[in-house]
Structure 1
């Protein structure tokens, strides 16, 4: 028997207090970007719980590999992973590209907790 409820109305907007199932809960994020003290250059080996398929070693001096590693950590990591593998300054400087590489849930979670990551929508008058 079908369990469809014809009286159920789908919602189109997510309540801001309800976390996305596709992004980290706000309590999983660091309390500040300064807490992210991961490596800034050289080779980094991600553990299997993050990089379980494909490339596991990333040369952070290569922007393409750095972005790939950050995408993996942002989408599959937890608080300790963020702190160990991400750097606050690198995350901030690469966020305009990274935000397009991660899903809406991840992007929204990080931008809600760290508003400085949000794209600037307007420019100040000169």
Structure 2
């Protein structure tokens, strides 16, 4: 997957979604930099829910709080993983 430059703050704009670390990197970048209207283009709901227990440890507290407050299903995935 290719990210536009406004999302990719580093030189990394291309992500191989078949590689778990790259996929996690893409989701982390989009969670930090993405705008709500563009998120469905880059994030798959099922995969986000699956990755969230780990992703939430990689994003800052403010990003985590915004996402979990906006999408309660993310917070419930966190509780289910504990």
Q: TM-score range by the shorter chain?
A: 0.7 to 0.9
TM-score, length-scaled by structure 1:
0.58
- Give 1:80 deviation, angstroms: 2.3
Shift, 1:55, TM fit: 1.2
Q: 1:69 aligns with which of 19, 26, 30?
A: 26
CA RMSD of aligned residues (A): 1.5
**Residue 99 in structure 1 maps to residue 56 in structure 2:** yes
Q: Distance in 1 between matches of 2:2 and 2:73?
A: 29
Larger radius of gyration: 1
Q: What SS does the aligned partner of 1:58 have? A: coil
- Aligned pair count? 79
Identify which of 33, 49, 54 aligns with 2:11. 54
- Structure 1 runs of 4+ off > 6 angstroms? none
Work out the CA distance in 1 between the residues paired with 2:61 and 2:9: 23
Structure 1 unaligned blocks of 5 or more: 1-43
Q: 2:35: which partner in 1?
A: 78
Is 47-56 or 112-121 further displaced after alignment?
A: 112-121
Higher share in helix = 2
